[in-house]
Amino acid sequence: MEAVAFYSFSVLAIVSALFILFSKNLIYGAFALFLAFLGVAALYVLAGADFLAVTQIMVYVGGILVLLIFGIMLTQKVVRQSEQEIHNKVEVLTSRGVAGFLIGSGMFLFLGYIIIDARFKMQGEVINTNSTIRTIGVELMTSHLLPFEIAAILLLVALVGAAYLALNRNPA
């Protein structure tokens, strides 16, 4: 049962990722990314990371994807050159496509070779508790307190910087 869920969600994530790669319309790509993120969140649940799965859905699907779709809509061409032009069309040069295919498949072969060759010896127990929230909360507030605070400051700086860049249309 678990194996069926794992492989079906993996196929969902990979097929949606391939759809982004081959779709010409960027909005369709963004919605396929939504499916890919959901598949990845399901993989997190199967690996015993329930809190991260919920965080993934809230942050990526609720925040980042909406921002990306806003970005696509705000960068529309107002004037279309021709009536037949497809909405949000992304051209792919043949040379770029060949380079992407070669680099992507080469990278996959390389990583696959490393994974097969590695023979990880895992120590310790596999996760068997129902929830990881307690451990994550305790760890965040004790041994990972400094990165937690730095992440807070990073988010504040990113918020101020993004608002400045996007609002102030004429800084000069």
Partner 1 sequence: MNTIPLEHYLFVAAALFCIGLAISITKRHFIGILLGIELMLNSVNINLIAFSRHDPERLSGQLFALFVIVVAAAEVTVALAIILRVYGHYKSVDPDEVKELKN
Instruction: Check residue 25 for interaction with partner 1 (CB under 8 A).
Output: no
Q: Which of 22, 62, 27, 60 is nearest to 41 (CA)?
A: 60
- For the chain, the 3-state helix, strand and coil shares in percent, each to the nearest 5, are 70, 0, 25
Q: Which residues inside 123-142 make contact with partner 1, applying CB under 8 A?
A: 123-129, 132, 135-136, 139-140
Q: Which residues inside 138-167 make contact with partner 1, applying CB under 8 A?
A: 139-140, 143-144, 147, 151, 154-155, 157-159, 161-166
**Residue 30 tokens, joined:** 């963004």
Interacting residue with partner 1 among 28, 35, 55, 61 (CB under 8 A): 55
Interacting residue with partner 1 among 115, 131, 145, 149 (CB under 8 A): 115
Interacting residue with partner 1 among 83, 84, 120, 172 (CB under 8 A): 120
Shortest Å distance, C-beta 81 to partner 1 = 13
**Residue 61 tokens, joined:** 């699907």
Q: What's the gap between Cα 139 and its chain centre?
A: 25
Nearer to partner 1, 84 or 142 (CB): 142
Nearer to partner 1, 85 or 107 (CB): 107
Shortest Å distance, C-beta 54 to partner 1 = 11
The DSSP element (H or E) to which 161 belongs, if any, is: helix 145-167
CB burial of residue 29 (10 Å; 0-12, 13-18, 19+): buried
Count of other CB atoms within 10 angstroms of residue 94: 7
Q: Which residues inside 90-109 make contact with partner 1, applying CB under 8 A?
A: 90-93, 96-97, 99-101, 103-105, 107-108
